Structure 1
Amino acid sequence: DLGLDMKIGDVEYQGDGNKAIFYYIADERVDFRELIKILASEFRVKVEMKQIGARQEAGRIGGIGPCGRQLCCSGWLTNFVSVSTSAARIQELSINPQKLAGQCAKLKCCLNYEVDAYIEAQRKLPSREVALETKEGLYYHFKTDIFSGMMTYSMGRNSLSGLVTIHKDRVYEVVNLNRKGIKPDKLITEEQEKQAPKELYGGNSLNEGSITRFDDSAKSKPKKKRRKSSVRRRSKNNPNKNNPTNSNPDKNTPNRNNQSKNNPNSNKGSNNDAK
């Protein structure tokens, strides 16, 4: 044990077997001259030490990402760029280290792929800090679907009361009316309310995860009567089950052999008649 603060991640041999490259990870500079002598005498090859980063190590090891595809660093990505948490905030992702970290224990490289598209789409959206004034009351921003341009507003700050989802064009229209001192009757027009589905403006999508959402449909369905069908099937399979007296016709009749044994004169009477 040389006490070196380093980790060997991969080893690569040349085709002729005369040289081996040891890839290692270390936070600080390491004096591995003694280690090279030990490895060279053990494997009898020329040893070369090459330092790599955590992302490069994950690329050399390889694996499958949570998307179900090969890791980008092991497939095609060669230029590694630093990834910050601001990329996740721009895309409105929850800052969860377990979900945002990759196999290298650092932020996933794919977080940078769509940042420019999100920034460009957010520039076309109105400010989220502006409250919309209507005759019904004030509406505050609740959430935004950036690429579709749909914005959801509520009647209270950080609350789910009176949720209404409208397009960004309608938001700009209401903001311009408020600047002129005009308050519209409703946040959505009657034409938009007729054309759009109820789930879009009514906020019914919040109830999709409710546990009791299938109770009404289950109550409305009539119950199937299975008793009659089961009885019919049983009767077809065993027709004598419901009529135990007919199941064994010889059960209620006396045994002829027993009669002849108990009454020996029965055969004589029959013989006399024949004569």
Structure 2
Amino acid sequence: MPEVDTIDRGICRSNKTCCAKLEVTDWLSDIKSAIPHEDLVEVRFKNTRKDYFENVNNLNLKVGDLVAVEGNPGHDIGLISLMGELVTEQMKRHRVTLNNNGEYRKIYRHAKQVDIEKWKEAISLEHQTMIKSRQIVKDLRLDMKIGDVEYQGDKTKAIFYYIADGRVDFRQLIKVLAETFRIRVEMKQIGARQEAGRIGGIGPCGRELCCSTWMANFVSVSTSSARYQEISLNPQKLAGQCGKLKCCLNFEVDAYLDAQKDFPPTNITLETEHASYSYLKADIFTGTYWYAQHGHGPSTLVPVHVNRVKEVIRMNRKGKKPEKLVIEKYDGGAKELDTFHNVVGQEDLTRFDRPKQQDHRRNRNKKRNPNRNQPQNRNSGNRNQRSRNSNRNSGNK
């Protein structure tokens, strides 16, 4: 097991979180299926790359084994991450197809010590190769960036992951890389989101980036998702660390769309007997629209329940104007929507500016006896004592 852990860290050397991202929970591991399924195995490699192979030699495999698998050309070394019935489900999810011969690629054998040592040497060359390839790209003046390099297990081939905004003619680059490193070269383009997931980081929510922990497929994000959720279109806040719109904008947009199915339109002005109101913002999950009077600005915001908004719109279409915009029937929207109450006072920012309770007591005592803490004059005390003694002596005479 220590050897496997070392190799596992080698797979995820450049991405500290890719191991957690590539893990799959086999929730059918303790259930024997009555339906026979093909002996397919999921094998994972570096840079969130997975592939699926067939155990044609009937090897005794288990999750975590290092195996030598069929490459293109040669062979590659990978770690078995999933076996059993869930492999076919994962293949459907990732839309895996057969090779040109109509067959799955094969698992050759368990990785030998010679294979592992050669693979470790290939991993040690990846960072140096990436730095040198970036210099070659700079010399050729190509508008692209080499993000990472992944060597095949037999050191005969390397995959160069690059980022580019448009199409790049890298035919000359492939020739130079092949002559420089004496290997077969494969170029694979990745997006800015994949690059951010490879590097990792902490998002503004305080958690690890979704692209570096669990997201495998990236869906395009548009500003309409922010509009449906009533989020201000501030590009600095909507953009993630990759420079694109945050993927989490798509997570809750369906819930917002379902909640707004029965909402009235927002481009209609509400007319009352005393004023006209225009829509300003909405609190979707409480069913509240906020309106402001014409000419008064946001200082006159009025929360109105959506049912009351529908009723006022119907009255205005009939030529009627209600006396009030908010009535007791729909006072749920007019109530204070902030359910947080600072009862203890611990969340008050000015709590340290107020004097403590002991200071109040000390000040109260000073008001009652202002001369309590003042030092007495010793000379005045002796003078009073002598006068009392003289009076006593005169009385005795």
Q: Identify whether the pair has TM-score above 0.5, normalized to the shorter chain.
A: yes
2:304 corresponds in structure 1 to 166
Higher relative contact order, chain-length normalized (CA < 8 Å, sep 6+) = 2
1:78 corresponds in structure 2 to 216
1:138 has 2:271 as partner: no
Structure 1 residues 197 and 100: alpha-carbon distance in aligned structure 2, compared to 1, 3 A threshold:
closer
CA offset digits 1:106-140 (Å, max 9, x no partner): 11122222223323333311111222222223222
One-letter amino acid of the structure 1 residue matched with residue 276 of structure 2: L
One-letter amino acid of the structure 1 residue matched with residue 294 of structure 2: G
More helix by share: 1
2:324 to 182, 186, 204: 186
2:375 to 236, 242, 253: 242
TM-score under structure 1 length normalisation: 0.65
2:177 corresponds in structure 1 to 36
One-letter amino acid of the structure 1 residue matched with residue 318 of structure 2: K
- 5+ unaligned residues in a row in structure 1: which ranges? 201-213, 250-275
1:224 to 360, 369, 388: 360
Q: Is 100-109 or 161-170 further displaced after alignment?
A: 161-170
CA offset digits 1:208-235 (Å, max 9, x no partner): xxxxxx9xxx8xxxx937457589xxx9
**In 2, Cα distance between the equivalents of 1:73 and 1:242?**
73
Q: CA deviation at 1:74?
A: 1.6
**In 2, Cα distance between the equivalents of 1:138 and 1:171?**
13
CA RMSD, Structure 1 to Structure 2 (Å) = 3.5
Tell me if structure 2 keeps the 8 A contact 1:40–1:47.
Answer: no
Kindly name which structure, 1 or 2, has the bigger radius of gyration based on alpha carbons.
1
Structure 1 residues 5 and 39: alpha-carbon distance in aligned structure 2, compared to 1, 3 A threshold:
farther
1:101 has 2:239 as partner: yes
Q: CA deviation at 1:60?
A: 1.4
One-letter amino acid of the structure 1 residue matched with residue 277 of structure 2: Y
TM-score under structure 2 length normalisation: 0.47
1:176 has 2:314 as partner: yes
- 5+ unaligned residues in a row in structure 2: which ranges? 1-138, 338-349, 383-397
Q: CA deviation at 1:181?
A: 3.2
**In 1, Cα distance between the equivalents of 2:333 and 2:244?**
43
Aligned length: 218
1:2 to 140, 144, 148: 140
